[in-house]
Structure 1
Amino acid sequence: MTIELEEPRLEENSQVAKDLFGGTIGGIAQVLVGQPFDTVKVRLQSAPEGTYNGAGDVIKRLMATEGPKGFYKGTITPLIGVGACVSVQFSVNEAMKRYYDKSLNGKELGLPQYFVCGATAGFANGFLTGPIEHIRIRLQTQTAETKAFDGPIDCAKKLYRANGLFNGIYKGLSPTLVRESVGLGIYFATYEALIKRELGKVKNITRDDIPPWKLCLFGGLSGYTLWIGIYPIDVIKSKLQTDSLTAPKYKGPIDAFRDIWARQGVKGFYRGFVPTILRAAPANGATFAAFELTMRLIN
Structure 2
Amino acid sequence: MDFSTVNELLAGSVGGAAQVLVGQPLDTIKTRAQVAPRGMFKGPMDILAQTIRKEGFFALYKGMASPLIGIAGVNSLLFAAYGLSKRAISPFPQLSLKEIAAAGAMAGAVNAILASPVEMFKVRMQGQYGSATDKRLREVAREMWSQWGIRKGIMRGYWITVAREIPAYAGFYTAFEFSKRKFTAIYGDQLPVWALLSSGATGGIAYWLACYPLDVVKSRVQLRDTPPTGTPVQYIARELRNIVVESGWTGLFRGLSPSLLRSIPAAASTFAAYELTREYLKEFTGV
**TM superposition score normalised by structure 2:** 0.92
3-state DSSP class of the match of 2:130?
coil
Q: Contact conserved, 1:172 with 1:253, CA < 8 A, in 2? A: no
In 2, distance between residues paired with 1:156 and 1:78? 14
**Pair 1:179 & 2:168 matched:** no
CA deviations 1:55-102 (Å, max 9, x no partner) are 111111111112111011121111121232111111111222233342
**What residue is the counterpart of 2:218 in the other structure?**
237
- Asked whether the equivalents of residues 250 and 256 of structure 1 are also in contact (C-alpha less than 8 Å), the reply is no
Match of 1:254 among 231, 237, 247: 237
Conservation of the 8 A alpha-carbon contact between 2:183 and 2:195 = no
CA distance in 2, matches of 1:21, 1:287: 13
> Which residue does the alignment assign to 2:65?
76
Partner of 1:213: 194
Q: Cα distance, 1:232 vs. partner?
A: 0.4
RMSD: 1.7
Q: Which residues of 2 match residues 27-38 of structure 1 at below 5 A? A: 27-38=16-27
Q: Out of 39, 42, 48, which is 1:59 matched to?
A: 48
Per the normalisation by structure 1, the TM-score is 0.88
The equivalent residue for 2:140 is: 155
CA deviation after TM superposition for structure 1 residue 164, in Å: 2.1
Contact 1:18/1:298 (8 A) holds in 2: yes
Structure 1 spans left out of the alignment, 5+ residues: 1-11
- In structure 2, what is the Cα distance between the partners aligned to 1:140 and 1:281? 21
Where does structure 2 lack aligned partners over 5 or more consecutive residues? 283-287
Work out the CA distance in 1 between the residues paired with 2:93 and 2:58. 50
In the alignment, what sits opposite 2:30? Answer: 41
**Is the CA contact (8 Å cut-off) linking 2:179 and 2:202 kept in structure 1?**
no
Q: Is the aligned partner of 1:20 residue 2:9?
A: yes
Count of residues in correspondence between the two structures: 278
| Structure 1 residue 276, shift from structure 2 partner | 0.6
CA change 1:78–1:53 in 2 (3 A) is same
Q: Secondary structure at the match of 2:210?
A: helix
**Is the contact between residue 22 and residue 87 of structure 1 (CA under 8 Å) also seen in structure 2?**
yes
Q: What CA distance in whole angstroms lies between the structure 2 residues aligned with 1:56 and 1:278?
A: 12
Secondary structure at the counterpart of residue 51 of structure 1: coil
- Partner of residue 285, structure 2: none
Please, which of 129, 142, 154 is the counterpart of residue 128 of structure 2? 142
